Structure 1
Amino acid sequence: MRFETLELTVDARGVAVLTLNRPEKHNALSAQMIAELTQVAGQIAGDDAIRVVVLTGAGASFCAGGDLGWMRDQMAADGPARAAEARRLADMLGALNRLPKPLIGRIQGQAFGGGIGMMAVCDVAIGVDGAKFGLTETRLGLIPATIGPYVLARMGEAMARRVFMSARVFGAAEAVTLGLLARAVVPDDLDAAVEAEVAPYLACAPGAVAQAKALAQQLGSRIGPEAVEHSIAELVARWESAEAAEGIAAFFERRKPDWADRG
């Protein structure tokens, strides 16, 4: 299977590296990337030769969130089209979250919005010192809706509320405190830190690992269909709001939205 927005390699040990490969767009999530991520998740899930998956990005950014052209398209779409696109995004996140393999995030750069959601579906994420993060949707009049169940499951409500609504940008050290990153390391140590997370799984029974992961999700902050459906409805409602229309328009017009401090 060939991809235009992703790269998938598998080494002799069964370690797959899945790379978001739109570096010129800071690996922003386009409609095509969302579709390809869903496809590759199914491919990886069904491949018994793959033992562990490392998720990373090409270039300076891990993932800058939703592609703004894609979001502008949603503003122009009708209700059913918006709902279908929100569902595709939710299905992609769910497919990665349910992977019956360990998913290790190699966070080599910044992540915003949907990129935080991509980090949150990883079983463990290691990032670099100096990287910046943020749930920046509210600056555009939007909300972190479809990623919300996974972000809350990762951070817990109390921690998530520190950054979920304010769009405040935070660093790698705070990402560790929030539970979003397991560790932050200097860039030269990133690959060794990721390998330290990968290697133990190669001594484990793959079926037991898959069953243990499923059990952890069942016993933990379970993300059921109701939560997913609610997140889809909330995203569509936000796309239909006057605030979102103003926020997206202001971004493309390179001006402050009407609610922002103009001082």
Structure 2
Amino acid sequence: MENVVLYEVSERVAYITLNRPDKRNALNDEIVEALHDAFRRAEADGQVKVVVLRAKGSVFCAGADLAYLQQLQKNNYEENLADSSRLKELFHKIYTLKKVVIAQIQGHAIAGGCGLVTVCDVAFAVPEAKFGYTEVKIGFIPAIVSLFLLRKIGEGRAKELLLSGRLIDAEEALSIGLVHRLVEADRLEAEVKAYAAQLCAQNSASSMELSKRIIAEIQERTLEQGLQYAAQMNAMARETEDCRRGIAAFLEKKTLEW
């Protein structure tokens, strides 16, 4: 049986690919677990500096698989809690991954698929892509993704999207910060590859890791707590080997290859 998630590494970039194009890359327990394994693998791989999440076929991810939704109808509360916890752990893993995660969105990203986009650090999409959190239209709720979406685009915009369940086009997704760049389909792969290569060549891995950690952890602190935490992280960053190399290269007017 073909793997539902593919994993490959090229030039310090790990490519994690949803591989159920016949099912519009819909999510079920198998693909959620396979994604989690792939992201854990990328994080542990010392040869990987940046991760790209992409998909086969014309749809990035259509949300939950129909057969999977039907199965959930038979679960009791404890079974549903265990299942939803696995999705929670996947979203948390992607959001807090020690490496930058880029979403390469070649088609529609709906419901749980839009959730995957939400937790990635940077998102490139084709202009034709549609986005939306449509759970309310089937009597469900976008519970887990709501936490991340509030952080990403703010309460006002998040509330309207989550309560309406409407689909938005790529231009609107760009305007609210859900995605960061729109690229024509024939250039999408090359643009993402070039951006990932730039991060690998020009940026310190430890600096990107610490920056992601600060962003994830500082928002729930008070102003005073946040500033104290930021000062501690600043001091920690100064002690890294990357910082020593970077400052030395800057003072010596040398170009540093990371």
TM tier relative to shorter chain: 0.7 to 0.9
Distance 1:221 1:72, change over 3 A: farther
The answer on whether the counterparts of 1:64 and 1:114 sit within 8 Å (CA) in structure 2 is: yes
Residue by residue, what CA displacement relative to the aligned partner does 1:59-86 show, whole Å, maximum 9, x if unpaired? 0010101112112211111111111101
2:214 is matched with: 215
Pick the structure with more helix per residue: 2
- In structure 1, the residue matched to 2:5 is 6
Residues 135, 193 of structure 1: CA spacing in aligned structure 2 closer, same or farther, 3 A cutoff? same
CA contact (8 A) 2:146 2:158 kept: no
Taking the aligned partners of 2:140 and 2:199, their CA distance within structure 1 comes to: 39
Match of 2:115 among 114, 117, 123: 117
What TM-score results when the alignment is normalised by the length of structure 2?
Answer: 0.81
Aligned with residue 167 of structure 1, among 161, 165, 168: 165
Give me the TM-score of the superposition, normalised by structure 1: 0.80
User: Aligned partners of 2:156 and 2:194: how far apart in 1?
Assistant: 30
Contact 1:34–1:92 (Cα < 8 Å) also in 2: yes
CA distance in structure 2 between the partners assigned to 1:189 and 1:220 by the alignment: 35
1:80-159 correspondence to structure 2 within 5 Å: 80-159=78-157
**Pairwise CA distance, 1:177:** 1.3
2:187 alignment partner in structure 1: 189
Partner of 1:20: 18
How far 1:104 sits from its partner (Å)?
A: 0.5
Cα drift, residue 3 of structure 1: 7.7
Report the Cα distance in structure 2 between the residues aligned to 1:142 and 1:218, rounded to whole angstroms. 29
CA contact (8 A) 1:160 1:178 kept: no
Report Cα offsets for 1:217-250 as digits up to 9, x if no partner: 222468xxxxxxxxxxxxxxxxxxxxxxxxxxxx
Match of 2:7, SS? strand
User: Which residue of structure 2 lines up, in the alignment, with residue 230 of structure 1?
Assistant: none
- Identity over aligned pairs, percent: 35
Secondary structure at the residue paired with 1:164? helix
CA displacement, residues 103-127 of structure 1 (integer Å, 9 cap, x when unaligned): 0010000010001110011111010
- What is the CA–CA distance in structure 1 between the aligned matches of 2:163 and 2:113, rounded to whole Å? 16
Q: Any idea what the Cα deviations from partners look like across 1:167-194, whole Å, max 9, x if unmatched?
A: 1111100111121110112212212331
CA distance in 2, matches of 1:79, 1:191: 42
Structure 1: runs of 5+ lacking an equivalent: 223-263
The answer to whether the 8 A contact 2:136-2:165 is kept is yes
CA distance in 1, matches of 2:220, 2:135: 23
Runs of 4+ deviating beyond 3 Å? none
Does residue 48 of the first structure (1) align with residue 46 of the second (2)? yes
Structure with larger RCO (C-alpha < 8 A, sep 6+):
1
CA positional deviation for 1:138? 0.8
Are 1:104 and 1:197, in contact at CA under 8 Å, matched by a contact in 2? no
Question: Hey, what does 1:205 align to over in structure 2?
Answer: 204
Structure index of larger Rg = 2
- Contact (CA 8 Å) 1:106, 1:126: kept in 2 or not? yes
| CA shift in 2, pair 1:186/1:151, >3 Å | same
Q: Distance in 2 between matches of 1:196 and 1:162?
A: 34
- The AA in structure 2 aligned to 1:162 is E
Secondary structure, aligned partner of 2:79: helix
Helix, strand or coil at the partner of 1:76: coil
Of residues 65, 68, 74 in structure 2, which corresponds to 1:67?
65
Gaps of 5+ in 2: 222-258
CA RMSD, Structure 1 to Structure 2 (Å): 1.6
Contact 1:54-1:106 at 8 Å conserved across structures = yes
* Number of corresponding residues: 220
Specify the code of the residue in structure 2 equivalent to 1:110.
Answer: H
